[in-house]
Amino acid sequence: MNENQNAKRTLTQAEIRRAELLKEREEKLFADGYERHDLTTTVEKANSTGYLLPLPFAVVIFILFIGLHGFKDTIDILKNHTGLWIAGVFAFLISNIVLAFVHECIHAIFWAMGTEHGFKDIELGFIKEQITPYCTSKAPLSKGRYILGSLMPATILGLGFGITGVITGNFLFLMIGVCQILAGAGDLLVSSMLLRYKTAGKDVVLMDHPTEVGLIVYDKNLNI
């Protein structure tokens, strides 16, 4: 656990319980000869430099839309249909607020498929200080399952809405898709950290971090 990061906010009771549960599991792992390596980042970094990772996907979707449809219809709405434009902005904002929670539910679904007790091992919550919903797994996950569960929200929501916008020429769907692709910045950042991390042995346990953005690798043959 990164105490410097946690010092900036008060942990919720759920986070404290998860940290205590991890400590109990960790003691057993240490007794079995495992070593710990944190692969974590901050919400601030995920929401700043992390955007550089999904940005190319968002740009490609945007370029495809311009190439097929241009902005003629969008500009016409801006000039001649103020009410429709305002309704579109409102729909865009509300959609992204709702999809922020759907995003976490998608994490939950795909991670639950890879845990021993399914949804009982998954916890959803909300960090008030950061105005951020979250999903975390209290049980170990395989490398493939962790990455799959991490990337599916941006894939389903981002590419789903984005491609639909490109096919139909719907600018609102395009922008929702672009935002949802960018919303996966932290997920893509952590997944890239995990993909770059190399272990010397196959005996590895992956645990979602109980309070931070990222995960913890327990390895008997740590090779950094």
What are the boundaries of each domain within the chain?
51-219
Strands, sheet with 35-41, edge to edge from the N-terminal-most edge strand = 35-41, 213-219, 204-208
CA separation for the pair 106, 27 (Å, rounded): 31
Cα 34 to the center of its chain, rounded Å: 27
When pLDDT is cut at 50, 70 and 90, the band that residue 82 belongs to is confident
| pLDDT exceeds 70 at position 49 | yes
pLDDT at 8: 60
pLDDT at 205: 86
When pLDDT is cut at 50, 70 and 90, the band that residue 126 belongs to is confident
Q: Quickly list H helices, the chain.
A: 3-6, 13-31, 43-46, 55-69, 72-80, 82-112, 143-153, 160-168, 171-182, 185-196
pLDDT at 3: 43
The three-class DSSP label of residue 221 is coil
163 or 10, higher pLDDT = 163
Residue linked to tokens 């609102």: 172
pTM for the model stands at: 0.85
